[in-house]
Structure 1
Amino acid sequence: MLFVVQNDDDLALLVKLAIAPKNLIVKQCSVGIETEKFPFLLEPLGIDAEFWLVGEPDKDNKQSIAQSILQDYQNLGYIKYLGYQKNIEKIWKKAHIAVLPSYREGLSRSLLEAGAYGRAIITTDAPGGRELIQDQINGLLVKPQNTEDLARAMELLITMPLLRKHLSKKIRQDILEKYDCQLISEKMVNFYNYPE
């Protein structure tokens, strides 16, 4: 039996828990996007920082933030809460940076889409995030649950447009080369054709 995992952290966990020997575990991303649907978008002009929160709280997750807290943060002017959005390209045409301070991901589709659109990425040095982002090469990694580190990274990309543009071009290139859904599909089919 062959085990397919999305990242090095999951691979190490399967070995540590003695679920499978290392020689029967293959690290292969199974998440891809149709990159032709995500054209490179020029950055909008202006840099007055505004922080948008897109998405909805997960009602089935007891650790998810309450909707009322998000409304309070918006009322206080900390964020602009946009809720669930169907047309994400419309959001990325107006935004400069994608930020996902996650504790753990397989691999974030939202970051793949943002990077394909040519948006610089800040995410946590945690499973999934560090699979996609190489710190200072194609994005910025911050320490998990460290608000100061996250704030410094956001300030850096807000105040250094050349760095932001360099990272955005590099992550787009990486996604086109490694995460196009056609490429991912072919690799996954090859795993199912793996000889026993």
Structure 2
Amino acid sequence: MAVNQSIAFVANTSWSIYKFRLYLIERLLRQGFAIYVLAPRDPYTEKFEHLIGLTYIELTHFHGKSISPLEDYLLYRELLSHYRTLKPRLIFHYTVKANLYGTRAAARAGIPSISVITGLGYTFSGEGWLQHAVRTAYRRQLQKSSEVWFLNSDDREFFITRGLVRPEKTFLLPGEGVDAAYFYPAPYQQRTEITFLLIGRLIRHKGIYEFVAAARSLQKQGLAVRCQLLGFFDDNNPVAIPRKEIEEWTARNLVTWLGHTDDVRPFIEQADCVVLPSYREGMPLSLLEGASMCKALIATDTAGCRAIVEEGVNGYLCREKDGADLAQKMVAYYHLPPMAKRQMGIEGRNQVLQHYTRERVVAIYLEKISILRGHE
């Protein structure tokens, strides 16, 4: 395999490679590219490291939650060493530390790279020293990227208006891509009890507390509803929801925690509406997967979510950090006639097919890779 046919993907977890980008990597392998994946080892590594044409390299100094300058420097040196040895023709970086230290290392090694901003997260919420430090670092390091990709226009505008990146370097990618055949259209079922499903990590910024407050409001109104949580505990996250609180909510029949799974389809199929009152997203896959399966959506009128939900067409938008407003939107969906509920799901599916399929995302990657290689 020629050197100029090699591409590296760098992320903070092997899980994110498996969950969001494995289909893209498999397509690139079929196209004849050699692929390097650099990420920490976790239970998902073994799901792709055996692929022919793919070389997995474990990153031992990538600690996503750490704010140690020494660990960050060691990560930069580790990445630089790998880049100089592997000499990939192009590198894709995902998440904050990969974008910062990976981009710096790629520039030092003389290799073009693309920074993909998959979401801003809690490191951009607020005006503390950490937020200031991250923005300053982004402003410095993104100058060295060939391009900077965003998953929604709000995040791109945030970076541009604050001088973190030049507009001509930016590109808008329509999400991570949905397999519309895998997330099949679920037949509409008219039920006497309506199920609202929230899929996501069990952290405060996913709007978990607002969802529980809304569930409590609907329960007090005597509505026949079930409110479900599907996702894993992110115990090391500074905004993690304590397990004890989830257990208390379940004991009081406010919500039901369904655990964590790699196959969310059966749970989406049994739900009526997918809810995500998140404070901010890149391009939430749970909403896209729900829409692909013809489910109505209720989400926050904020970055990432508002790009997917069209008010009154395929769902409703609620105010950020407002459990009462979320409850009102859930009640509005509850009282819709059956055919209106069904039509919302159909509209969501059509939107996915038009804008957010994996085929569309793969085509964009291939076109961009071709253009960037043509500029060498």
TM bracket (short chain): over 0.9
Match of 2:186 among 28, 38, 41: 41
> Structure 1 residue aligned with 2:165, among 6, 20, 23?
20
Residue in structure 2 matched with residue 8 of structure 1 by the alignment: 153
- Structure 2 CA distance for aligned equivalents of residues 165 and 157 of structure 1: 11
Is the CA contact 2:151–2:175 (under 8 Å) kept in the aligned structure 1? Answer: yes
The partner residue of 1:184 within 342, 361, 376 is 361
- For residue 270 of structure 2, give the secondary structure of its aligned residue in structure 1: coil
Verify: 1:136 aligned to 2:312, yes or no: yes
> 1:54-75, CA deviations, whole angstroms, 9 ceiling, x for partnerless residues?
1122112121211110110010
Q: Alpha-carbon deviations, 1:16-67, whole Å to 9, x = none?
A: 2212222321212241011111211113342321111111221121212111
| 1:60-71 paired onto structure 2 within 5 Å | 60-71=236-247
Give aligned-pair identity as a percent.
21
Q: How many correspondences in the alignment?
A: 196
Amino acid at match of 1:65: I
Q: TM-score, normalised by structure 2?
A: 0.50
How do residues 20-99 of structure 1 correspond to structure 2 at under 5 angstroms? 20-48=165-193, 49-99=225-275
CA contact (8 A) 2:174 2:355 kept: no
Alignment partners' CA distance in 2, 1:21 and 1:47: 53
2:311 aligned counterpart, secondary structure: coil
Q: Give the secondary-structure state (helix, strand or coil) at the position aligned to 2:181.
A: helix
Higher relative contact order (Cα pairs below 8 Å, separated by 6+ residues): 1
**Partner letter of residue 312 of structure 2?**
Q
Separation in structure 2 between the aligned mates of residue 96 and residue 12 of structure 1, nearest angstrom = 34
CA contact (8 A) 1:30 1:185 kept: no
Distance 1:2 1:194 in 2: 12
| 2:325 alignment counterpart | 149
Q: Which consecutive unaligned segments of at least 5 residues does structure 1 have?
A: none
Please tell me the residue identity of whatever aligns with 1:156: A
Q: Secondary structure at the match of 1:87?
A: coil
TM-score by length of 1: 0.93
